[in-house]
Amino acid sequence: MKVALVGATGLVGTRMLQVLEERNFPVDELLPVASERSVGRKVEFKGRSWTVMSAEDAIAAKPELALFSAGGDTSRELAPRFAEAGCRVVDNSSFWRMDPDKKLVVPEINGDVITGDDYIIANPNCSTIQMVLPLAPVHRELGIKRIVVSTYQSVTGTGYKAISQMNTERTLAESNRRRLRLPDTEGATAMDSWGEYPAVYPYPIDQNVLPHIDSFLENGYTKEEMKMVNETKKILRDDSIAVTATTVRVPVQGGHSESINVETCKPFTLEQIRSLMASEPGVVVQDDPSHNVYPMPLYAWGKDEVFVGRIRRDFTVENAFNFWCVSDNIRKGAATNAVQIARLLLDRGLLGD
């Protein structure tokens, strides 16, 4: 089987290679694709080196499967071309997610929606995946009326450059922080006081919290927040669920965390909520606050599971509860979920001869 990986040298692409190997996915020939400046570089997979190639060469090689993690513009341009060549595409960008003709899949929840006609399949947003996985059994059993979520998202969600920015700021922190000025009332950034270094955020991220992920929209929400709103409804197949989100970037390199408030349609017990969440494949309940047992991104890093805890009743609203949710956003939030979709395609006979 020929497998193309578009975005092979990026943070998620590198992790996809790792997950493919860990899960023994049958790759006979790897076709790593990256930007023009990366063509000719080497990537390691299954004990050998593979040469990064152009998208044109990869399409000409007629792969059976292409995993995409190279941004929306690349997916918009190249995913249809791979599909036209008879290749199944699993795309990690946001470009196809809300296309009514494309499936948005978390395999444990709605893998049944994929058919033989699907050649471009969308991988959901990382924050959405970890939220809907523990909530899917709750919705099936009790019905969900409303979700209020606040996220605490790792810099890994922005890639290698964000990690570099945070680490550089930590190195420069002591001398520069003494000179750090606040932005003026017109919103000018404070980055100039930190000297010249590559930055992907408008402000320092070390020792800081940015209530700003992706661009702001006319309704005051960011694109990241509206992704969670819209994708949740599509994955859970229920447009009646009311969802509101605030997404925040924090100086963490281990995974995403979320504080979630859920209002259900039916009454429940907390033990029922814990049991429902624990029943979902890939969800681990860590909920014993009296012994300081609760999920943390430091311990979720490198794992595929979604961890939930701090499960408690919201005493201000009838039939509502709060919980804390943590997951490695690069694994289950991106690479692992994509490889799980690929495995589902394989198991259904939709890949290869």
Q: Which of 251, 242, 238 is closest to 317 using CA atoms?
A: 242
CA distance 36 to 86: 24
SS percent in the chain: helix, strand, coil, step 5: 35, 25, 40
In single-letter form, the type of residue at position 38 comes to: S
Number of DSSP helices (H) and strands (E) in the chain, helices first: 10, 14
CA distance 73 to 259: 31
First to last CA, the chain: 9
CA distance 208 to 304: 28
Instruction: Spot the catalytic one: 126, 139, 212, 291.
Output: 126
Instruction: Spot the catalytic one: 87, 139, 256, 325.
Output: 256
Active site residue 256: yes
Q: Structure tokens of 262? A: 């859920």
In total, the chain counts a number of residues equal to 353
CA dihedral 333, 65, 107, 331 (to 10 degrees): -20
DSSP E strands, the chain: 2-6, 29-33, 42-45, 48-51, 65-68, 88-91, 103-104, 120-122, 144-152, 242-246, 256-264, 283-285, 306-313, 320-327
Per residue in 52-68, is it b (16+ CB within 10 Å) or e — as a string? bbebeebbeeebbbbbb
As annotated, the active-site residues are: 126, 256
